[in-house]
Structure 1
Amino acid sequence: MNLQSDDFELFGVPRSFAQERATLDARWKDLQREAHPDRFAAQGAAAQRVAMQWSVRINEAYQRLKDPLRRAAYLCELHGAPIRAEDNTAMPAAFLMQQMQWREALEEAASMAELDALDDETQAARGAAIARCGELIDARQDYAGAAREVRALMFIARFAQDIDSRREQLGQ
């Protein structure tokens, strides 16, 4: 194992968007077993600290690889297409219109049924955006295009949190 390896190398999986969750889970368990600090107890405190660093590195890689949004963003970064969500908020006009419609619907939602319908719609949009990320990354190697989809997915994720907050408000 090499601390400088990217997450895909560390986990021994292809550098692609498409990943099998069961493979990632199994590999995570194997790597954690291999790097567990208790295995190095007889070798002293320094060896245990190194093992702890490995354990943290493995967990960070696992969190990135298992989440489609984080995995897509990581692949874009690796291929020179940074997400730059803080300063690059350019979105297609159709997506901006969709955002405005969702925001209005969220403000006007007066029942759990309305929130559920809005949540279903945004989850469908999330699924479609994830599929587009897979196509752009794995089939087309269009990392700049995938970065735009990642920014859209980030908005959808934040909006899903807003829906949950609204549910809590209505539930009180």
Structure 2
Amino acid sequence: MNYFTLFSMPEQFDISIDVLKQRYELLQRVTHPDKYASASEQEKRIYMQKNAQVNDGYHVLSSPVLRGEHLLLIREIPLANEQDTIGDTEFLMQQMDLREELAHANTIDGLNALESSVTESQAKYIECISQLLHENTKEQSLRAGIELSKLKFLIKLASEIKTRKHTIKKS
């Protein structure tokens, strides 16, 4: 299923999240199973499936990583695997440094500073991915896949920072 088509959005990485939300709400109203309570069982099933596709599509298109991966799949570009990312020693060293900072950060201020740094890095990766996917060549799309894998690492790290901040606040 092409979620860009489902939401009448252009097949590109940069989309308007506001437009996506508007179209999601419209599609939710049109496909919501409660609207078809008096329909036949087969029709109910069909609208339930359509509603699930709308929910899945919104989830995918609202996430930069999932949206990028979806775009690559539509372009029939294989997704990068962990080995592609591991080959980038500079990125690995950067990740090791960030993980060490997280391990040693014992204050909210320290975690906030680390979180800010990771957020800044995420924005840089998103911009890079946007540029690569905009070019729409096989080579650039393959590179975008590798950058998406790196972005996943940063998103996971950001989640771990939030968890750590929550833990420290409870203490």
Q: Give the alignment's TM-score, normalised by structure 1.
A: 0.89
Residue 86 of structure 1: how far off its partner (Å): 5.4
Tell me if 1:154 matches 2:148. no
Which range moves more in the overlay, 137-146 or 76-85?
Answer: 76-85
Letter in 2 for 1:138: H
Q: Report matched runs for 1:46-125 at 5 Å.
A: 46-85=42-81, 88-125=84-121
Which range moves more in the overlay, 56-65 or 138-147?
Answer: 138-147
Which range moves more in the overlay, 35-44 or 51-60?
Answer: 35-44
Supply the distance in 1 between the matched residues of 2:126 and 2:147 (Cα, whole angstroms): 8
Letter in 2 for 1:25: K
Supply the distance in 2 between the matched residues of 1:169 and 1:43 (Cα, whole angstroms): 49
Supply the distance in 1 between the matched residues of 2:36 and 2:83 (Cα, whole angstroms): 44
Letter in 2 for 1:9: T
2:164 is aligned to 166
Residue 140 of structure 1: how far off its partner (Å): 4.7
Gapped regions of structure 2 (runs ≥ 5): none
Going from structure 1 to structure 2, the CA distance change for 1:166 and 1:36 (only over 3 Å counts) comes to closer
Gapped regions of structure 1 (runs ≥ 5): none
What is the number of residues matched between the two proteins?
Answer: 168
Residue 133 of structure 1: how far off its partner (Å): 0.8
Q: Give the alignment's TM-score, normalised by structure 2.
A: 0.90
